[in-house]
Amino acid sequence: MLSILPWPETGLVCLSVLAAAFLRGLTGFGFALAAVPAMSLFLDPAQAVTMAVLLQSMAGVRDSVTLRGTWHKPVLKRLIAGAVVGTPFGVALLLWLDPTVTRIAIAVLILAGLAMLMWKPANGYGPPNLRLAVLTGGVAGFFGGFAAMPGPPAVAYFLTTDVPAKQTRASLIIFFFSTSLLALPGLVWGGLVTGASVAMALVALPLMLFGTWAGGRMFARTSESGFRRLAMLVLLATALASGARGMAALAG
């Protein structure tokens, strides 16, 4: 398997996955938000998205077992229903756009996502709006298909509800798993899932699992709000780096 992997790109992917997984364990979300722009600095953006989708699909198999029965079923069902509609449009856009434009678009999506995550409801928290969950799922599915980043719309939705933190975290993890599975057929059809990409994902998977575990351990010992701010700053830096590379390519 190692003979078909490109080096040093695989080593850089592994480092990106480890750092992004640490953020995932620290905040409960944000793996693709950090991993995709970081990997797109040395991979084609479509390949970076494919890697994130593969890794989230692989890790999600374990998550679906360990988190069974803890997610918010009514909301999760509607989020997935919306994602079924939105994901194909995101994948189609990913396959159509030029890689340079894709880097800039991913940076813009991350910035928009950060704005969503920092938004607070003016009227406080209330029961989840199930109709809004379907629309949120559609937007998140589009984000997931295009950039492997379904998190910001879904997280922003849960931030407006009174769903307990344990249910929120479990629902988001399973939703991310579902959107990755929905995006996979389009990526396979588009020729982005190759033997090399699967092998690279398998090599990086242990680092993703370890990074998530390590981030969770650190979160248990530290202030949630402080590490949330740190995660936002790291994600902002990766968005700016990805956007800068795309702008430089356009200018040069």
The three-state (H, E, C) secondary structure of the chain, written as one string: CHHHCCCCHHHHHHHHHHHHHHHHHHHCCCHHHHHHHHHCCCCCHHHHHHHHHHHHHHHHHHHHHHCCCCCCHHHHHHHHHHHHHHHHHHHHHHHHCCHHHHHHHHHHHHHHHHHHHHCCCCCCCECCCHHHHHHHHHHHHHHHHHHCCCHHHHHHHHHCECCCHHHHHHHHHHHHHHHHHHHHHHHHHCCCCCHHHHHHHHHHHHHHHHHHHHHHHHHHHCCHHHHHHHHHHHHHHHHHHHHHHHHHHHHC
C-alpha 194/C-alpha 54 separation (Å) is 11
Judge if pTM exceeds 0.95: no
The pLDDT averaged over each successive group of 10 residues in the chain (252 residues) is 64 90 77 83 86 92 85 93 93 82 72 66 70 92 83 80 81 89 90 90 93 80 62 65 62 57
Residue 50 confidence (pLDDT): 92
Domain ranges of the chain: 2-251
Residue 88 confidence (pLDDT): 92
C-alpha 14/C-alpha 241 separation (Å) is 18
